[in-house]
Amino acid sequence: MRAAPDSARMARPARADRSPQLAALNLVPELDLTEARTSLPLPLEITVRYSAGAYNTNQVFGFRSSSTSSARQAAEAQATKVYGLHMSEGSLMQLPSTGGHLGTDVFKVSGRLLIAWCGASGLVDVGHVVPDDAMPIAMGPRFNLLKELDVACRHGKGPSKGLLLVPGIPEAPNEQEGLRALRAFIQWRCIGAKKLRSLGITYATYPGSTS
């Protein structure tokens, strides 16, 4: 995936004053990036237990990780699924044992969730800071957000083969119609908002959207 050309411009959304909300297991801020346009640090505690010949993490945002080598490697794999390459923004710190279950390790880590955005061309890109000429689409843990985009977005053909696009935006004759297509896309995906939130995914809020 790649970003739209720098010349692509879309009108910025009006700010929606909404309080942060909770995902099923972890704190995930409502996606209102009109001003900051960047994801916020999200701290996590990852529990690792040894069983059946492997180190297995607790479930975070609906997924787990495991390693046959060490508890730390299992925790690192889980943190990478959540934060991606920016997992190193926060050090993976092992907490002292509290005398709990035998063979249980707890790690504390913090990093930034991934944000998806698009420009006037409809091309989708991801990262941790939304460019000034782009519109935020959704935010969430890397593993789940990339799966959601792959299912929800249009897969490009011809010159855009291998890229993802927001349906309706490439055909829009002007910026207003492009924004309307983006709102329609968000409304469609947010029909299953409860399930999305359990996966840590939050879609952006725009006037006329129901996220």
Q: How far does CA 25 lie from the centroid of its chain?
A: 15
Among 69, 95, 112, where does a domain finish? 112
Nearest to 172 by CA among 146, 135, 126: 135
Give the pLDDT score at 42.
Answer: 85
Q: What is the pLDDT of residue 133?
A: 86
Domain hosting residue 172, numbered range: 21-40+113-203
- pLDDT digits 0-9 by tens, 63-107: 999 999 999 999 999 999 999 865 555 578 888 865 555 578 999
Is residue 132 within 8 A of residue 194, CB to CB? The reply is no
The residue among 34 and 127 whose pLDDT is bigger is 127
Written as six digits, the tokens of 179 are: 């924004």
pTM exceeds cut of 0.85? no
Same domain for 148 and 99 = no
Residue 59 contacts by C-beta under 8 Å, 6 or more apart in sequence?
A: 25
Q: Rounded CA gap, 83 and 110, in Å? A: 8
Q: Quote the number of domains for the chain.
A: 2
The tokens of 197 are what?
């939130």
Q: Of the residues 77, 112, 147, which one is the last residue of a structural domain?
A: 112
Least confident of 61-65, 91-95, 153-157, 174-178: 91-95
Please state the rounded mean pLDDT for residues 19-37.
Answer: 45
Helices (H) and strands (E) in the chain, counts: 4, 13
Q: What distance in Å separates the CA atoms of residue 20 and residue 33, rounded to the nearest whole number?
A: 12
On whether both 119 and 199 belong to a single domain, the answer is: yes
Size of the chain in residues: 211
Same domain as 46, residue 98: yes
